[in-house]
Structure 1
């Protein structure tokens, strides 16, 4: 019998979340972000599931971080346009960009120079990245007009152009910094007569004034709520990944007995402890605190003691039906109907859902359910 830990990937939930993003920004095109192996969910399976949507509904393009991620999609038969969000890392990659029919973000002067020196058979669509306030990648706004004009003066090399930027605080309660970035990009787009792509997941959910020509839903596609204060739209997100295992052992402890490395947790009463097959060697966060929620047979229980490499321990004293083989859901949807948000688990680990979802390691099988045949994750 195989180890019981699996990551169930609900592709219908993925399609629901994408459709939600598209509906929230009905006047915009929706770029589906599937970088980092679709945030740990399997980029090939997720792309194929979204490409299987009807014409007019399916994503007009996907976004990845780098050429290697794009090559995986093309090798699997994904034909939709793919945007390289970080662009090229060296000039010689332009040959592969052209061969694979990719769209290219440019954020640095050397990338512009490399592109303008290149002689493609067909012009390459370019997304010009502007640093509107995050101060990570992009040209300063005062340089945008010059770079925009240089790209536009090379129609044999550059096809459609678009302005893009990234919000640093669209998920925050205080809207002031996000509003400054939005105002900057609005003025720039108006001055240049340029289409824009600004809205990441939180802005797609909560900033309709930022939707522009394209929105860029990322983590929301996978059912994680990126907002500091959930709203009506974010509450409609459905979890895509369920990290599911089973109880493999049970222990009865007297009051005061410790559990796990370092004896961090001590039984406050006569306690029943379940051992679950999942640990940091699978990507579950070792920093999870005592009390981190886990669903046992559909009921909420609490982590008791430090996470080990292959196992973790759970206080099931108040769940008498818990037994060897009982379902343990680390996050996602239980077979009993209960849902445990990955965002709630992340808060107990003093991290964010992105790190949990992308951190699930290859030894955890992905099991796909939904609109396409089961696929092994790339």
Structure 2
């Protein structure tokens, strides 16, 4: 039985944000990224809400298997490719497109060329992020080898941006220029560059495919703005009930380590959510929480199952009232900024014991 701590999901927000992608990149097809359990929202439900995307991108074979087990038959792209022949065969069995970002992966695919079926290969090029990808100088040889095992399919080329969330920084332009120089030597190649930040700020990167992730869920990819400020709609509203109210005197302290001290007579509300639910333990005092129609400050250290907020100025708060940790009224990006992290982390850290509720048709 739920203790009342809940993440409410809004599929209409996902569809709205997908349409924003369509509007910003009207000529591109869309890989909707649903890795990390749909950024904490639930991969299957997110994919179902995003069914108008052209395909789904995941990080692992297990994530692809989850989608297939749920009856999702759309194209799936394995963003990190596979490791070894057994994984490569599983990717074929699941009907996944796969990324090749190193020599060993391509060699493996060459040994099983007759079993690849309709699987498309996406060659990932390192244009400067230095995480995954072959060097630009390796591209001609890799393309020749891919064409040998996939002669009837166009070459698919992709890269990943290091700082597309900083539109004033020149490095993304450098990456785009490096990538386009390779593409010009490969007529008919299919291109994929833009992540969420690329979709929003770098129209010259939209190409044939885009692969938005965080913006689909209504959170910001950067730019010093929240998702709400960027015109996105949050798909998750995380709530927890008030389970205790108490009055304390000026000078009294709250929570582990007695970190917070009341400067006046205060009224403290305890909420049924803590780091066991994914709310960060290191959240500082004054991190905002939305309760009874206004912001109230977190006070004291977050514990495993509970946190405390100062509701002295909100006398109408009662036991059982629902507080919003982030969502419709309070952007996850703003909360993340107070905590010293990013919205991505907060969304993906929501633990399995939080009841995730999707509306039923």
Fold similarity call, TM over 0.5: yes
What's the CA shift for 1:233?
9.6
Give the TM-score normalised by the residue count of structure 1. Answer: 0.92
- Cα distance, 1:3 vs. partner? 0.5
Return the alpha-carbon distance in structure 2 between the equivalents of residues 70 and 121 of structure 1.
17
Shift of 1:91: 1.6
Residue matched to 1:90: 84
Number of equivalenced pairs: 359
Q: For residue 192 of structure 1, give the secondary structure of its aligned residue in structure 2.
A: coil
Q: Structure 1 residue 66 and structure 2 residue 56: aligned?
A: no
- Greater shift, 25-34 or 221-230, is seen at 221-230
CA distance in 1, matches of 2:318, 2:229: 35
* Shift in CA distance, 23/234, structure 1 to aligned 2, threshold 3 Å: farther
Does structure 1 retain, via aligned residues, the 8 Å contact 2:154–2:190? no
Q: In the alignment, what sits opposite 1:282?
A: 277
Residue of structure 2 in register with 1:50 after alignment: 50
Contact 2:219 2:228 (C-alpha < 8 Å) held by counterparts: no
Deviation at 1:228, TM superposition (A): 2.2
Distance 2:218 2:116 in 1: 40
> What is aligned with 1:303?
298
State whether residues 220 and 227 of structure 2, in contact with CA within 8 Å, keep that contact through their aligned partners in structure 1: no
- Give the aligned partner of residue 243 of structure 2: 248
Q: TM-score, normalised by structure 2?
A: 0.96
- 1:227 maps to which residue? 222
Quote how far apart the aligned CAs of 1:50 are: 1.6
Match for 2:126 among 131, 149, 153?
A: 131
- Taking the TM superposition and a 5 Å limit, the aligned residue runs for 1:1-378 are 2-51=2-51, 58-118=52-112, 119-120=114-115, 122-155=117-150, 159-193=153-187, 194-230=189-225, 235-333=230-328, 339-369=329-359, 373=361
Q: Distance in 2 between matches of 1:233 and 1:41?
A: 18
Query: 1:120-178 CA distances to partner (integer Å, 9 max, x unpaired)?
Result: 1624201100000000000001111110111012226x844311000010002532111
Query: Which sits farther off after the overlay, 23-32 or 234-243?
Result: 234-243
Residue 231 of structure 1: how far off its partner (Å) = 9.3
* CA gap 1:287/1:233 in 2 versus in 1, 3 angstroms: closer
Contact 2:82-2:88 at 8 Å conserved across structures: yes
Kept after mapping to 1: 8 A contact 2:286/2:299: yes
Structure 2 unaligned blocks of 5 or more: none
Per-residue deviation, 1:80? 0.1
Q: Matched residues in 2 for 1:124 and 1:216: separation?
A: 18
- 1:159 and 1:103 mapped to 2: Cα distance? 12
Answer yes or no: is the 8 Å Cα contact 2:41–2:356 preserved in 1.
yes
Q: Which 5+ residue runs of structure 1 have no aligned equivalent?
A: 52-57, 334-338, 374-378
Q: CA–CA distance in 1 between the matches of 2:248 and 2:300?
A: 13
Shift of 1:30: 1.1
CA contact (8 A) 1:126 1:159 kept: no
CA contact (8 A) 2:280 2:302 kept: yes
Alpha-carbon spacing, 1:199–1:346, altered in 2? closer, same or farther (3 Å): same
Deviates more, 1:168-177 or 1:28-37: 168-177
